[in-house]
Structure 1
Amino acid sequence: MKQKTCSACGKELKGRSDKRFCDLHCKSTYHYRRSLEEAPRFYNKVDNQLKLNRKILKQYNKAGKATVRASLIKEDGFNPNYFTHYWKNNKEDVYLFVYEYGFLKKNEHGVEKYILIKWQDYMEK
Structure 2
Amino acid sequence: MSAFETLRIANTSLGAHQVWLDAIAGNIANVNTVTSTDDDAFQATYVIFGAREDGGVDVDGFAGSDPEGRLVHDPGHPLADEDGYVRAPELDMSSQMGQLVMAQRGFQASVQMTKTAQDTYTAALQIGSK
Which TM-score tier does this pair reach, normalised by the shorter chain? under 0.3
Larger radius of gyration: 1
- Structure with higher strand content: 1
